[in-house]
Every structure is written in C-alpha cells, then in structure tokens.
Chains A and B, each alone.
Chain A
Amino acid sequence: MTDTATTGDRLKRFLPPKRASLAAAIIGGAAATMAMAVGAGGIWASFAGIIALASVASGYLLGHQDGTSSKAVRMRMFRVADELAQYRAFTRLLRDQGERITETTGNAATVIVTGLRDMDANLVQLQALMGTLPEDQSAALTSLVNAIGAPVVGMLGQLQFQDVTQQQIAFLSRLSRIVDQHMIDLAREMGDRRSMDRVGNFKDMFNKALDDCVMSSQRDDHHVAAGLDLHESNGPKIELF
C-alpha cells in the first residue's frame, strides 16, 4: 500500500488533482484487491502485483493524454485565431485597394468628362466661327470638326464604366466584410467550446450576399462560385412600362 500511495503522490504531480485522486483510487483499489488475492504470500507476489498495477496506472496515464492534447488543441486554436486576425488584415487591405481604385477611376473619369465637355463646347464655337469663312474653306473644316466631335458622345457614354466598376468594388467590399465578421466570430469561438456550434454557416452567409448583387453578371458569378445553377430572368436592357 505504501508503494501505491507513492504512485498516487507521483500522479498528483502530473495530473490535475481530480484526475490524480481518481487514478490513485483506481490504483489503490486494485492494489487492495491484489493484496487480498495474494495475501501474505510473499513480497515478490506483492511486487508483481505492483507491476500489474503500474500497467493499470499507465493505462490511465494514457487517458491523461486527453488532458495534454486539450492543451495542445487550445494552443492550436489560439494559433488559428491568430491566423484569422492576419487574414482579416488581408481582407482590410483588399477593401482599401478597392477604395483607392474607386477614387482614382472616379477622379480620372471626372477629368475626362470635363475635358470632353470643354472640347465639345470649343468645337461648337469653332463651328460658329467657320460660318464666317468663305464657303470653300468652311466646307472642309466643317467636315473635319464634325469628325473630331463625332466620338465625343460615345466616349461620354463609355464613362459609365466608372459607376459600374464602383458598384462592383462596393459589392466585393461587402463580401469582404462578411468574411471579416465570420473570422471575428470564429476567432471568438476558438476560446469557447460551448458556443462553437453557434457560429454562422459561412455558405449561408455567402449565399445571403446574393441579395446585395445588383448586376446580372455579379449574380451569375455568385451562382457559379456557390455551385448553384439557379438563374433568373433579368428582363430587357431597356423597358418602357
């Protein structure tokens, strides 16, 4: 029994108190049983019994591996939470880049529209001045001025790309924020196993973002990415009700 008590003491050094006392109880109980079986038959028999008990303790110590791996798992969860924080920094970077693209294309488009309008206004003035020239000279110039001015309206129309791009980037930014929030939730849950199941399903959140798609191309991309084959009718590009 003395040996058993010593083993129990040793276990207490390695195991949490509750687990150590349980292990000691197992070993103690087994030793008592062994002692009763062997009786006072000899110290060797008792020693053999202790060896057998040690194997029982070893079995429990293997069970103790659960405790050790919990700690390792916790460490890994913290590591994953740390990784998530880094991914969040990455999504933030993507959003910042998107905002810069919107800003720079917006500025560029404004400059181009202004330039085209000024150019068009100057061409109108030039056309008025040409009316004062002799007819043979004005005819050739008029045709040239008209040729220069002809693409202006089309170019002004093309500048709608900036608004379309801006909305596409805004949509990506919204998606990125969803991912971001999901990572925050996941990181929070890393330290609270009890609420692990309460984290939102990313696929559901991703599909919910479909509501924010405003362009048919965005919805098509979303459907492809989500593995959906649902397609809706978008109607004509121009429709008078």
Chain B
Amino acid sequence: MASTILLVDDSATILMSMEAILHKAGFTVAKASSGEEAVTKLQGGLKPNLIITDIHMPGISGIDLIRKVRVMSGFQFIPILVVTTESQQAKRDEARAAKATGWLVKPVQPDDLLKVVKQILPNG
C-alpha cells in the first residue's frame, strides 16, 4: 500500500506541483493550505506516513504546526520535513528543536525531494 504524504503549504502552485511529483512517484497525497487545515485533517482521522510543511504561512506557522503535531496522540514520531524558502540558521535550529525531521530549501529539485522522501519512507 502506498504511503500517504500530507503536504502543507499556502501556495497553490507548490501544493499542485509537489502533489503531481509525489503522486507520479507512487505516493498518495493529501493537501492542506494552512497549518489549521492540517491540524483539522489530522484530528479528523488522516494518518499520513510523512508530513511536508512550509514555514511561512498565515495563521499557524510551519514551526508551530510541528510543535502542535508533536503533542498530538499518535503523531509524536511521524516524520516531518520542512520545505521552505527560509534558509536562516536560527529558523533551522528552531525547526530542529521542534523535532522536525529535515529541512529542504526551495526551490527543491524533484529528484532531490524524492530522494529524501524515499530515505524517510523506504517502503514507498
């Protein structure tokens, strides 16, 4: 069974393009255009194998989303990748402290994205 990835980004273009890339690689993709929507989906029963989130979003930021997810029952150990234009070391450290799994700086080459995703989800 294909792994499910939850994409969280306020950019429709990013959601659509990453969904297409991941879907083509055989993953099932769920999307949320905000941190709030992601939390709602997780509370509503969505059980992704990986969450990929942006940092700069209106409302709940990506870092806050990670913190929220980490205290939700059943999601303490879910891998969470940050994909963002942010490259500041301080933010990176903040994400690491919030227990993010990894950090990718946009624009990410599809091959690089898939390589990292497959490293985290070796069984696809």
Contacts and interface: CB of A to CB of B under 8 A. Distances in A.
Interface of A: 106, 109-110, 113-114, 116-117, 120, 152-154, 156-164, 166-167, 213-216, 219, 232-235, 237-241
Shortest Cβ-Cβ A-B pairs, 10 listed = A160-B107, A240-B102, A157-B110, A109-B13, A113-B16, A163-B11, A156-B17, A234-B87, A162-B13, A214-B86
A156 B15 CA distance: 11
Given A114-B16, A164-B85, 5 more contacts: A113-B13, A113-B16, A232-B88, A238-B104, A241-B101
A153 B24 contact: yes
A215 B24 CA distance: 29
Contacts of A235: 87, 89, 92, 103
B72 interface: no
Given A160-B13, A234-B88, A241-B100, A214 B56 contact: yes
B121 interface: no
A160 B92 CA distance: 20
A219 B88 CA distance: 9
A157 B21 contact: yes
Contacts of A106: 12-13
A238 B16 contact: no
A148 to B, nearest CB: 14
Nearest to A241: B96
Contacts of B119: 240
B88 A157 contact: no
A160 B106 contact: yes
B109 interface: yes
Contact of B11 (A153, A166, A215): A166
Interface in B88-118: 88-89, 92, 95-96, 100-110, 112-113, 116
B88 A214 contact: yes
Contacts of A110: 12-13, 16
B12 A157 contact: no
A215 B17 contact: no
Given A117-B20, A239-B103, A216 B87 contact: yes
B13 A237 contact: no
A240 B109 CA distance: 16
B92 to A, nearest CB: 6
A216 B95 CA distance: 17
B20 A160 contact: no
Contacts of A159: 13, 17
B94 to A, nearest CB: 12
A166 B105 CA distance: 15
Contacts of A109: 13, 17
A160 B7 CA distance: 14
A64 B112 CA distance: 76
Contacts of B104: 237-239
A101 B119 CA distance: 37
B14 interface: yes
Contacts of A215: 85-87
Contact of A241 (B84, B86, B102, B109): B102
